[in-house]
């Protein structure tokens, strides 16, 4: 069975995107160049940031068409993430709320890519 190992977001400014994700995720990239940056999570999943003007074939969609989801272990952590995002001036697309799958909030990176933090109902 093939298992996805990396997701890639197309960005307009690598240093800006790198700094955003390093701050929000609390990890440093393992690869960093003028056109590409990559983070590796403890699970092994990789997040690549690729400068969109160098992507071949050229991407047809802008940020915001999908989202990265980060599960937390306590409902209160959703509110903590939200407080940190708001304090850093990160755009909040959805304030903390309870939905049918659990407690959640959604923010956006500088290119409009959505990041959802959620505590799932088990």
* DSSP β-bridge partners for residue 31: 38
pLDDT at 63: 83
Over residues 92-116, the mean pLDDT reads 97
Compute the distance between CA of residue 104 and CA of residue 120 in angstroms, rounded to an integer: 8
pTM: 0.91
pLDDT category at 21 given cuts 50, 70, 90 is very high
Distances 107 to 3, 9, 35, 56, 97 between C-alpha atoms, Å? 27, 15, 24, 28, 13
- Computed over every residue of the chain, the mean pLDDT equals 94
At residue 1, does pLDDT exceed 70?
no
**Superfamily designation of domain 63-122:** 2,3-Dihydroxybiphenyl 1,2-Dioxygenase, domain 1 (3.10.180.10)
Compute the distance between CA of residue 106 and CA of residue 109 in angstroms, rounded to an integer: 10
Compute the distance between CA of residue 64 and CA of residue 17 in angstroms, rounded to an integer: 15
What are 40-92's pLDDT values in tens digits?
Answer: 999 999 999 999 998 999 988 878 888 999 999 999 999 999 999 999 999 99
Compute the distance between CA of residue 32 and CA of residue 14 in angstroms, rounded to an integer: 9
Domain with CATH 3.10.180.10 in the chain: 63-122
20 SS3 class: helix
Supply the CATH classification number for the domain 1-54.
3.30.720.120
Can you spell out the DSSP letters for 34-87?
SSEEEEE-TTS-EEEEEEGGG-SSPP---TTSSEEEEE-SSHHHHHHHHHHHHH
Domain with CATH 3.30.720.120 in the chain: 1-54
pLDDT at 7: 94
The pLDDT > 70 percentage for the chain reads 99
Over residues 21-27, the mean pLDDT reads 95
The pLDDT > 90 percentage for the chain reads 87
């Amino acid at each position: 069975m093939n298992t996805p190992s990396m997701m890639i977001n197309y960005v307009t400014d690598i240093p800006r995107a790198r700094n955003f994700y390093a701050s929000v995720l609390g990890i440093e990239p393992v690869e960093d160049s003028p056109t590409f940056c990559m983070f590796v999570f403890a699970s092994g999943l990789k997040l690549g940031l690729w400068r969109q003007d160098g992507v071949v074939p050229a991407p047809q969609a802008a940020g915001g068409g999908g989202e990265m989801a980060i599960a937390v272990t306590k409902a209160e952590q959703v509110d903590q993430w939200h407080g940190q995002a708001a304090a850093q001036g990160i755009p909040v697309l959805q304030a903390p709320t309870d939905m049918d799958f659990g407690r959640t909030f959604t923010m956006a990176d500088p290119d409009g890519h959505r990041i959802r933090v959620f505590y799932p109902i088990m």
